[in-house]
Every structure is written in structure tokens, then in C-alpha cells.
Amino acid sequence: SLSKRFDEDILAQACSSLTATQIAKMYGCSASSVIRIINRHCHPKYREPVLPKHLCFDEFRSTGRLMSFICCDSDTHKIIVKLPNRLTKTITDYFVNRYPLSERQQVETVVADLNAQYIYFIKHIFPNAQVIIDRFHIVQLTARALDKCRTTLISHINKHSREYKLLKSHWKLFHKYEKEIIDDKPVFLNGINEYMTQRNALDLIFDFSPKFKQVYQVYQGILEATREKDGSILHDVIYNYHPTRSAMDTAVSTLKRNIHYVKNACYFSYSNGPIEGINRKIKELKRHCYGFRNLNNFFNRIDCIFLLNQKEASTA
């Protein structure tokens, strides 16, 4: 039989994202024994004793092409639940069947991305919760629209022109926060091989395409609103936007359709940062273990990493 100390050593190595085969070689046992020990000590709970007041919703790719749902506490960063899929019925049934309405009414905020599915059923599960759209995803949506407008503009420009080379080589300049742009110091710009201030480079593109300037100003306005957490700026940028027949039209219409939840990103300090950090560790686990075929084993490995780390932090 395997000793208790042996189980503890196996679990300690499992926290470092090693594969079951590597752990088995280190301790002279089989990979099946390693998996059996992990599954015996790490298994999903039926529910949490107390449902946190602030939650984060997101999803991650689990086995194959399957997308799984994950929820964590915004304050303690503790994983609340992992579900095998992100279907509305699965998520709703979990919270409604395991937590009474009186407890679900105490949830104050739920942070999610721009997935319309979450916005649709969060109010049904948590009647008193404020839905917050993550600030990163708001900026990411407009940044991708800006990039699509830039690539569209590039396709209609002569490849030997200065404008083409600026748009092609210095795309990061258009994503830079406008207040951080250098106005008075010329720098050498690769591609066009000229000394020019960053402001002059932007003006060169804006004089060539006023439409792209309008798209750029919308992106900068939303970036400023999310950084300064000013809901009035965000409201003005969205509602004063004039369609340009570009990808930015779709982005702004999406924000306008969810304007109340988008403005909450400026009024509350919560974000999806904690759950994005959890997802990064999950991706690292999948990369080190070359993926998983068994969903239960994968979920238990995730619990092994986070539960044992939380125990070590509490004892320290």
C-alpha cells in the first residue's frame, strides 16, 4: 500500500503542472497510480458553503474543442465552479438548483465579457446583481475594429508610399494612448527611414484618410474613459459616433446595445483580471501535459493546483 506521505509528495508534484508519467518516473510508480491519487484527494464540491457577493464569469478550452465555463470569487480569486460546457441551461441549472433564491439575491456584481449569452441569464440567476463588462474586453473590441480599418486602408494604398509604410510598420503607434504620444522629439521611424515626431506621423495618416481619423478618435475616447473610469466620456463617445461604414460601426453598436453594463465598468473597480490569471495557469497546465482527453482528470488537476496552493497560503 502507498503511504500518506507518498500521496502528499505526489500531490505536491502535481501542483507544478508535471505530467502523470513524469511524476510516476520520479517516484517509481505507475501513471495510473498518480491519477488515482489525484482523483482521490481532489474532487469537485457540490456547492460552496457561502456564495460570494462578487463573481467573475468566463470560459476556457478544456478537452478537444469543448469550451467549459468557469466562475471565481472577485475578491479572494477562489474558483467557485467549473462546468463541462458553457450552455445557458447548464449554468442556470447549477446555480438555481444548488443555491436558494435568498442567497443568490445577495450577489452584488458579476463581471463578464461581451458574450451576450451571459448578459441574458445573469439577471435571471442573480436578480440584484450589477452586470459589469470587463474593461479589457471593451478596449479589445474597439482595438480590433481599429486594426480592421487599418488593414482595409492598407489594401487600397500604393505599397511604395509613406502612408503605406507607416500603417504597415508602425501599427503599434495607433494603439498607443494619445496622452503618451511624443509631440516634440523627432525619432527615427523604420520603414520610411525618416526622422519624424509621432504626432507628425499620425497627422500624415489623418490628412490622407479623415475616415480613419474618426475611427482612431473613437478608440482613443474609449481608451481614455476606461483608464480614467469616467462613464460620461464613454457615454459621449458612443452616442456621438457617426457611422463610417467600417468595422467600428459594429463595435460601437455592440457597446450601445449594452451601454448600461458597459458604463458599469467605469463605476466599479472589479474586472475579469483574476479569472484571466486562472485561465493562464490552466493553459500552462495543458501545454505542459500536452492536453487532456478525460475531462474529469483535467478538472481534478486544476483543483489540485489551486486548492493546494490556497492551503499553503493559508498556513503561511
> Which CATH number covers residue 76?
3.30.420.10
- If asked whether residues 117 and 188 sit together in one domain, one would say no
Answer whether residue 300 is part of any domain.
no
pLDDT the model gives residue 312: 47
- The verdict on 189 and 223 lying in the same domain is yes
pLDDT in tens, 67-126: 999 999 999 999 999 999 999 999 999 999 999 999 999 999 999 998 878 888 898 999
Short-list 73, 78, 74, 1, CA closest to 33: 1
Radius of gyration over every alpha carbon of the chain, rounded to an integer in angstroms: 24
Q: What is the pLDDT of residue 139?
A: 94
- In 99-170, DSSP assigns E strands to 109-112, 130-133
Query: Cα-Cα-Cα-Cα dihedral of 179, 183, 187, 189, to 10°?
Result: 70
Give per-10-residue mean pLDDT for the chain (316 aa): 83 85 90 89 86 94 91 93 93 94 95 87 92 94 94 89 87 89 83 84 90 94 92 92 91 92 93 93 90 90 76 46
pTM assigned to the model = 0.86
Same domain for 174 and 255, yes or no, is yes
Residues 21 and 118 in one domain: no
Same domain, 143 and 251: yes
Is 304 inside any structural domain? no
Same domain, 253 and 148: yes
Instruction: Provide the residue type at 21 as one letter.
Output: T
Indicate whether 88 belongs to any domain.
yes
Residue 314 lies in a domain: no
For residues 225 and 205, membership in a common domain is answered with yes
Q: Do 146 and 113 have their domain in common?
A: no
* Same-domain pairing of 141 and 256: yes
Domain count, the chain: 3
What pLDDT is recorded for position 116? 78
Residues 185 and 163 in one domain: yes
HSE of 49, CA atoms in CB hemisphere, 13 A:
0
Q: Which residues contact 9 (CB under 8 A, 6 or more apart)?
A: 27
Do 90 and 129 lie in one domain? The reply is yes
Q: Examine the domain organization and report whether 161 and 186 are in the same domain.
A: yes
**Cell digits of residue 185:** 522629439
What is the per-residue pLDDT for 110? Answer: 95
| Residue 242, Cβ density class (10 Å: 0-12 exposed, 13-18 middle, ≥19 buried) | exposed
Cα→Cα distances 229→169, 223, 226, 254, Å: 31, 10, 5, 19
**What is the DSSP track for 16-69?**
TT--HHHHHHHHTS-HHHHHHHHHHH----S--SS--SEEEEEEEE-STT-EEE
CA distance linking residue 196 with residue 163, whole number of Å: 13
25: domain range?
4-41
Task: Tell me, yes or no, whether 221 lies in a domain.
Answer: yes
Note whether residue 157 is domain-resident: yes
Tell whether 301 is covered by a domain: no
Inter-CA distances, 274 with 79, 84, 189, Å: 10, 20, 38
Please report whether residue 140 resides in a domain: yes
Partnered with residue 54 across adjacent β-strands are: 109
